Structure formats: structure tokens, C-alpha cells
Amino acid sequence: MNLIVVGAQWGDEGKGKVIDVLSEDADILIRYQGGHNAGHTVIADGEEFVFHLIPSGLLHPGKVGLIGNGVVIDPAALLEEMGRLEARGIDVKRAVKISDQAHVIFPYHKRLDLLEESTRAGRIGTTGRGIGPCYVDKAARSGIRIGDLCGDGFPELLRRNVAEKNRLLRALYSEPPMSYEELLAQYRGYAKRLAPHVVHGPRFLREAMAQKKRLLFEGAQGALLDIDHGTYPYVTSSSATAGGACTGAGIPPTAIDRVIGVVKAYTTRVGEGPFPTEFSSELMERIRTKGKEFGATTGRPRRCGWFDAVVARHAVDVNGCDAVAVTKLDVLDDMETIQICVGYRDGSRTLDDVPADAALLERCRPVYESLPGWRSETGEASGFDELPAAAQRYLKRLEALLGVPICLISTGSKREQAFKVGCW
Ligand code: IMP
């Protein structure tokens, strides 16, 4: 069975943990979009591991991970992550494959990302990793791919790109130029180390499927950060929804058997942009502290709010989710009352879908439904029936609002604090 796991909110839904649990039943794990802006945290054997570029199921021995063509790769970040994984006893040489069609991030992308953020009228709050500018080059057809990096044409491609970026840095930002020679030497060093991992992604997956290997596609970020279906322009620059797996890995839609969306039992968002259910300061602090809601990549405090069923339903629809996994249920353990947003109000108008216009969403007020909290610990539960009755009621209500079953529940950061539900 080939499965896609996607974020169904604004990222940070706990996909790393869910993928870690589900990857027991997979052979090949694939990242298909985004870059090292992502941070997927897995806690295994009491130790925390944060993945940024490498698929997060790789802590299980014997798995193989592919970084697909839709990903943008910062070689320094990737090599650092490979080193950390090797230190954990994973045979990285065998386990990590990189698509020759994935685009490469260079230091000028990062500089432009930071400069654009500091001069733009409306900040997006990017991670500053050069992700957006790298995708700009991809769409402009001037980008450099992993295959280019490892090939003979690299010096000329780099020369052209550096010259163009230096013109931009000088003319738009009065910034000093970057050295072509330094970049060439640095990236040639990376190429030598990455070359043994490079494969042609679509062929690699086609052969794997012919051998009946099971594929698990790991979405990064979330549907509401998707370049098309998110709260544009406050989004990332890639297709974070399930469709992105096909273009970002080179597999046909017909090869996908199931899509699982991941939602937190509440909502968070990092960076700027509309967030209708955002808490006021007292609840914000309480949930942020209890949920350790600080970015795994940038350390930035995450904005927190109630579960927004309009947002999650939109994500279920655009992803075609067959089921959802609910994470961090335990963070709500001591709440007296829990709210779920079931619609929006803009003046006298009611909305039951996420509007395309970010300014309108910013104006919208949430319509809440209140449910009693359970005020007891859920961290020890190992099945749905062991959850407090009020927690069961909350989850059943989410299922009804989203129109799909819950397939997995996570009640803590450890691997053991998660259980599958129903037939999944
Ligand atoms: P970029 O992806 O660095 O360009 O950032 C664009 C927006 O996506 C910003 O609001 C970031 O905070 C957000 N973002 C990017 N990656 C993640 C992630 O992995 N989790 C949560 N938010 C993210």
C-alpha cells in the first residue's frame, strides 16, 4: 500500500511522530516538497531527533529514504543531518537517496530571502532558509539541480547565477557581491559527498513499486501553507498538499492508495498571516508551554489557538484524506472547556469554507461550539476506549465535522504514546 501523510493545518501538526509510527509498515519513505524549513521531531529510545530534509521514518533500521525532485536541498544542511543520523547507527550510505532533479539552495538564496523579508511591505515571516528564492529560480528556469551540481556543466551554471544574483544584490539592496570562486569550491566539495546518493527519482520509485515495496510519502508544512491552497500570500513556496507527492516525486496519482491528514487537537501557526482561532495571551502562554510550541527549525514561539474545523475540513477536501491522525491530545488534558471553530462570521455573513482572500479571513470571527474538557491525563491510554468519556466525545465531534474517521491518536511525545484506531 502506498500512503501519503500530510499536514492538515499550518504545519507542525506532529507529522514526524505519526510518520515514525506508520513507517513501520513501509519500505521506502519519500519527501516530496519543501526543504530544511521543515522540522520533524521524533523521540525514539528516549532521545530526540529532529529531521529537516531526510524522511523522518529513517530511524527504523532497514528503511530507505528518497529526497524527491520537489524538494529544495541545502547541501550543508543535508550533510549535517546525514552525519547526525550516522552517529545514531543508521547506514546512511545505503539509506539516503537523492533525486537528481531536486533543486539546490545556495547562500545567495538565503541572503535574498532575508533581504526580501526585511524590505517587503507585508512580512511573511519565512524561516529565512532561502526556500522561496530557490523555488523562484526553479520556476524561472535558472535553477541548479542536484544532477547539475554533480555534472561537468556546474561551473558555468554557477557563474551565470552568481553574476545575476550579484547584479540583484547591488542594484536592489546595495549589498556586497558573493564570490563565485568560493562558492564553486564549497559546492564542489558537497557534490563529491552527495554524488554516491544520487538517483533518478521516478525510476527509483518505479522499480521499487515493481518489486512491491510499500511507499510512504511525507508531506512537510501543511495544507494551509500550500502555495495554491493555503492562506496566500502567507504560505510557503511549494505544494504541501497530497497532489504535490505526484509532481514532487514523479509518481502517478493512480499509484496512491491512501492519504492521511495529520491535525493537532488544537491549532498552531508560525510566521505571519490570518489565524481566526488564535488565543488571547493567557491561554496562549498556557498551551504554548504545555505543548512546547516552539519551532523545531527556528525556535520561534508558535501562535496557538483552538481547533479550527473549517481549516481542517478544507485540508481534508483538497488532500482527499481517507482519515486523520490527531496529535497532542494530552495538551488539552487540564482544560475546563474546549472550543471548536465550526464556521466564520464576517459582519452578518456566515462562511463555512476558508476564503481565498487573506484579508477577509483576517477579518473573520470564529463561530465556536463548546465542549466540556476531561480534566484528567490521557498520556497512558493505549486505546480509544481508555480515553476519558469527554475526550472520546471531543474526538467523535471532530470526526463528524471533518467527515472522515480518526485512524491514529497521539497523547504524548514518546513513540509508545500513540495508538491506531479502528481498522487502520
Ligand atoms: P518559508 O517556507 O521559509 O518560505 O516560510 C513561509 C511560511 O511558512 C512562514 O510562515 C513559515 O513560518 C512557514 N513555515 C515553513 N516551514 C514550516 C514548518 O515546517 N512548520 C511551520 N511553518 C512553516
CATH number of 111's domain: 1.10.300.10
Query: Which pLDDT score is estimated for 121?
Result: 83
240 and 386 within one domain: no
Show which of 193, 214, 237 is a domain's final residue: 193
The catalytic residue positions are: 12, 40
Q: Which three cell numbers stand for residue 256?
A: 496512491
223 and 189 within one domain: no
pLDDT, mean over the chain: 96
179 and 201 within one domain: no
Q: Which atom of ligand 1 is nearest to the CA of 129?
A: 3
pLDDT in tens, 24-42: 999 999 999 999 999 888 8
- Kindly give the distance from the C-alpha atom of residue 301 to the centroid of ligand 1, in angstroms, as a whole number: 13
Query: Which pLDDT score is estimated for 424?
Result: 56
pLDDT at 422 over 80: no
Show which of 170, 193, 216 is a domain's final residue: 193
227 and 368 within one domain: no
Residue with cell 461550539: 369
Give nearest CA residue, ligand 1 atom 2.
Answer: 236
Query: Which pLDDT score is estimated for 235?
Result: 98
pLDDT band (50, 70, 90) for residue 44: confident
Average pLDDT over residues 77-90: 95
pLDDT at 107 over 70: yes
pLDDT at 318 over 60: yes
CATH of the domain at 363: 3.90.170.10
144 and 75 within one domain: no
Give nearest CA residue, ligand 1 atom 8.
Answer: 236
276 and 174 within one domain: no
List the 198-199 sheet strands across, edge first. 198-199, 96-99, 64-67, 28-31, 215-218, 3-7, 258-264, 323-327, 406-410, 418-420
pLDDT at 13 over 80: yes
Whether the bond between 233 and the residue before it is cis, its omega within 30 degrees of 0, is yes
> What is the span of the domain harbouring residue 187?
104-193
For residue 23, CA distances in Å to 159, 207, 216 come to 42, 19, 7
Query: Which pLDDT score is estimated for 404?
Result: 98
Q: Which atom of ligand 1 is nearest to the CA of 39?
A: 19
232 and 250 within one domain: yes
Count of domains forming the chain = 3
Type and span of the H or E element at 350: strand 349-351
344 and 282 within one domain: yes
16 and 86 within one domain: yes
Rounded CA-CA distance 141/118 in Å is: 26
Question: In angstroms, how far is CA 47 from the centroid of its own chain?
Answer: 21
Is residue 21 helix, strand or coil? helix
Query: Which pLDDT score is estimated for 249?
Result: 98
Ligand 1: residues within 6 Å at CB? 11-12, 37-39, 124-127, 129, 131-132, 220-221, 225, 234, 236-237, 270-271
254 and 273 within one domain: no
Query: Which pLDDT score is estimated for 1?
Result: 92
409 and 306 within one domain: yes
pLDDT at 125 over 70: yes
Q: Which of 105, 127, 234 to mutate to test the pocket of ligand 1 (most atoms within 8 A of CB)?
A: 127
Show which of 147, 165, 193 is a domain's final residue: 193
123 and 90 within one domain: no
- Kindly give the distance from the C-alpha atom of residue 360 to the centroid of ligand 1, in angstroms, as a whole number: 21
